[in-house]
Chain A
Amino acid sequence: MDWATILDIVLKFVAITIVFTVVLLMVAYTVLAERRVLAFIQGRLGPNRVGYGGALQPFADLLKFILKEDIVPDKSTRFIYFLAPVIATMAALMTMIVYPFGPETSIPFIGTIPLSVARFDVALLYVLGVTSVGVYGIMLAGWSSNNKYSLMGGLRSSAQMISYELALGLSLIGVILLAGTLDLQKIVEMQSAWHGFRWSIFLQPLGFIIYLIAAIAETNRVPFDLPEAETELVAGFHTEYSAMKFALFFLAEYINMFTVSMLATTLFLGGWNVPFAEDLFGRGTFLFGLVGVIGFLLKVIFFLFLYIWLRGTLPRFRFDQLMNFGWKFLLPVALLNIFLTATILMFFT
């Protein structure tokens, strides 16, 4: 191994550390934002005592999670019980490395670098693959706890994920057909036309709506939070989890929200493309990169707000409604979207 390879690996590690730190910090504040926004929706104030307006609340919560007693159920399957939160968190974090957070940017003293950790040919499939492995975290947690509520939660989660993964994958095919590639960077660059306004959402409105619904189901959030369903299943798959292990599941859920928000931004909302930024600053400059990253993060924050908003306003689906909606409505509409996109591409280009 020569020095260039070692330097490359070190740089990748630095990049991964930065991305993970930023994402985890944003997750911490998403939790706070969720609690406060929900409180406002319900006419309360929410946590506002620790730090200015509750700004230190996430760290207080973290400290509490670390210091709490870790209770392991006596009849649980020990190894899998420990493994499940690790799988959930790891699978959630692993997808972070492929997203293009910004365009190729020249940074003073360093040179021109791409603002993403890794770039490869099948980035989109990688995201889908890793998220599909994340289901095991929830399933195995439900099974290994040796608790009937947990088992019900685990079973529901696997049925739900399998049903909605199909619609999710099919809703992305329209964008793939338009872009002709699975490389996320190329898909974003394709959307830079029309002064940075050729976002796929305008060309694929149906695909976007299907993706959004399926993505909320994939992340087990309201109104699709049947694996947790605190009014029927106590807390579903994580009933028996406490302290830091519970915190890991919590973390995984929020990182998954981030993942699908980032994917929605990248595929449908133009990624780092900010309208007219290229005309103002010119491609590849530092300012262009900065505006791109800020634009990307703002779009992601919009989706996160949407999640919180939905949680504050919608009731939960019943299980048969969930299955009927996924298989009999979402899937055929996704297929129709593919058919329409392919037909239009075939005859009009």
Chain B
Amino acid sequence: MLVLLFILFAGLAIGCAIALVAQRNPLYSAISLIGVFISLACLYVTLAAPFIAAVQVIVYAGAIMVLVVFVIMLLNVEQEERRRRSRLGFLVPAAVVLAAILVAEATFIIWFVDRSPVKPVNSISDTGLTSSIGSALFTKYLLPFEITSILLLMAIVGAMTLARRIKETPPGAAVLPGTQVLPLRLFDPNLPLSDTRAAEAHSTEEAAEMLGVSDERDPSERD
């Protein structure tokens, strides 16, 4: 029974992984990656580690991949072009070497496990349960756990600092719906494009007045 489940989910994981690399459409690749994560979660369940399985689905399949798919959809990335000579061609030898190392590693593990003394796993073992993972994290591994959280916090703060846009409008001045947000170049071609001051106005004349620019356009162009 467990062997059948293992074959099913391992096969699914490998199939999805191959699809992930082979697909040309980035969204298909992302969906294949979700498939890999979910198959791995199922494998964790068969290994009596339900907590890791649930966290795998929530964190990777449910949160991170949603963001990845979100970005792909937002940028509307088209199908990747097929180039005859890839710019990354020089990496092919490196890939071969890494694959050889991976195969060697796998062989070593199989060889090693084959020769190690058999130690039966206690079937009612509770190492994979939430309570045991929790108590281990908050007692034995408290310091690494806290350091990891600080690391993640730093990443969040860093991302927010980098992504924050410096506001041109004075604080408290929100752009209301129905407001016209126009580039200043529309009024004066000599102004830089980067100037994106906004005004709470309901007509172009009003906006021009509030921003202190004169409307330099032809009367015929005006709205």
Q: Which A residues fall within an 8 A CB radius of B?
A: 1, 5, 77, 80, 120-122, 125-126, 128-130, 132-133, 135-136, 139-140, 142-143, 151, 154-155, 158-159, 161-162, 165, 180-182, 318
Contact stretch, chosen from B56-64, B117-125, B150-158: B56-64
The CA-CA distance from A318 to B41 in the complex, in Å, is 37
Chain B interface residues toward A at CB < 8 A: 1, 27-28, 31, 34, 38, 41, 50-51, 53-55, 57-58, 61-63, 66-67, 69-70, 73-74, 129-131, 177
Contacts of B130 in A (CB 8 A): 121-122, 125, 181-182
Q: A121-B51, A133-B38 are in contact. Are A143 and B27 (CB under 8 A)?
A: yes
Task: Apart from A130-B57, A318-B177, list 9 A-B contacts with CB within 8 A.
Answer: A80-B28, A80-B31, A128-B54, A132-B66, A135-B66, A143-B73, A155-B70, A158-B69, A181-B131
Residues of B within 8 A of A140 (CB): 31, 69
Q: Which residue on B lies nearest to A318, using beta carbons? A: B177
Nearest B residue (CB) for A154:
B73
**Complex interface: chain B residues within 8 A of A143 (CB):** 27, 69, 73
A132 to B62, Cβ gap below 8 A? yes
Assess whether A121 is in contact with B129, with CB atoms less than 8 Å apart.
Answer: yes
- Cβ A128 vs Cβ B73 within 8 A: no
Sorted nearest first, the 7 A-B pairs with minimum C-beta distance are A132-B62, A125-B54, A129-B57, A122-B54, A122-B50, A129-B58, A158-B70
Asked if B62 contacts A135 (CB within 8 A), the reply is yes
Given A125-B51, A128-B58, verify A151-B73 contact (CB < 8 Å): yes
User: Which chain B residues lie closer than 8 Å to A121 at the CB level?
Assistant: 50-51, 129-130
Contact A132 B63 (CB under 8 A): yes
Q: A122-B50, A158-B69, A162-B67 are in contact. Are A132 and B1 (CB under 8 A)?
A: no
Cα distance, A154 to B72, chains bound together (Å): 12
Q: A5-B1, A80-B27, A122-B51 are in contact. Are A133 and B62 (CB under 8 A)?
A: yes
